Amino acid sequence: MTFRGSPRVLAVQNSEGSGIGRLLPWWEGMGLRVEVVSGAATPATSKGFDAVVLLGGGFLPDDDRRAPWLPTERELTRRAVAGGVPLLGICLGAQVLAAVAGGTVRGDHGRPERGSCPVSLRRAAGTDPLFAGLPRELRFIQNHRDQITELPPGAVRLADSEDCPVQAFRVGERAWGVQFHPEAGADRLDRWDEAALADAGLDLRALRAEAERAEPQSARHAKRLAANFADVVRRTAGESSGGVVDAHHDLLSDEPSSV
């Protein structure tokens, strides 16, 4: 039996400024169908979808007063993890995953990370499907002041940085959280508030220049991560249908064979 449809991905956008970015055209080019919904339209289950993506936002995962849809998003996350549905949480999304699974998230903790920042893969990432084919040292856009300070029981820590010990982790076999932003390129900084950054002692022009220098390699690595997640989604959809997903796309057709 062969599953002929394209796997469907539900992406939850928690704030206007934290969209799905370059992941949308990449995943569509990889044969996935992506539906982006606002936080207020978040369903409580992933029924009808083959994967879930939780995007970022400028609040904590239990800030129900500012984001009243968060209880539903947490329920969606809980059910996806319990059902083995592939899930990728980004920034706030990673913190939602951590909190739902029994971890701890603290606001205004540690040193904020802004702009293009280094991320180091840990040994466990060497056999992890999301990070297959990636080098140990990476750079991604970051923009956070909150951190996951304690991982859920049984979670696997996959990446860290000097300023943020939990940059990536996995819960179970198919749920990942990443504190960094693979969906964001250097152009994301064009929308940042120069005056607010200056008040924090940061130079937006310098942050932009650093991000632009890192962009070519950062984009390649982000696309590899996106392709790895798409592989998991297709494989899981194929298993649940009793066959394999019919894919006609070269996942990294415009990239070298290795990164």
CATH number at residue 38: 3.40.50.880
Q: Which residue has the tokens 């249908």?
A: 241
Residue 161 lies in a domain: yes
What is the Rg, in whole angstroms, of the alpha carbon atoms belonging to the chain? 17
pLDDT of res. 64: 97
Residue 2 lies in a domain: no
Signed CA dihedral, 85, 119, 222, 196: sign only? positive
Q: Is residue 20 part of a domain?
A: yes
CB 5 within 8 A of CB 238: no
- pLDDT value at residue 194: 87
Q: Mean pLDDT, consecutive 10-residue segments, the chain of 259 residues? A: 72 94 97 97 97 95 96 98 98 97 85 88 97 97 89 97 94 97 93 85 89 95 98 92 49 37
Domain that holds residue 197: 8-241
pLDDT, position 139: 96
pLDDT at residue 111 in the model:
77
Strand partners for 111 = none
Within-domain flag for 60: yes
pLDDT of residue 203: 85
Predicted local distance difference test score (pLDDT) of residue 189: 85
Does 218 reside within a domain? yes
Terminal C-alpha separation, the chain: 34
pLDDT of residue 107: 76
Residues assigned a catalytic role:
91, 181, 183
Can you read off the two tokens belonging to residue 176? 């990942």
The total domain count for the chain is 1
Residues 6+ apart with CB under 8 A from 74: 61, 96, 99, 100
Q: What is the pTM of this model?
A: 0.90
In a domain, 251, yes or no: no
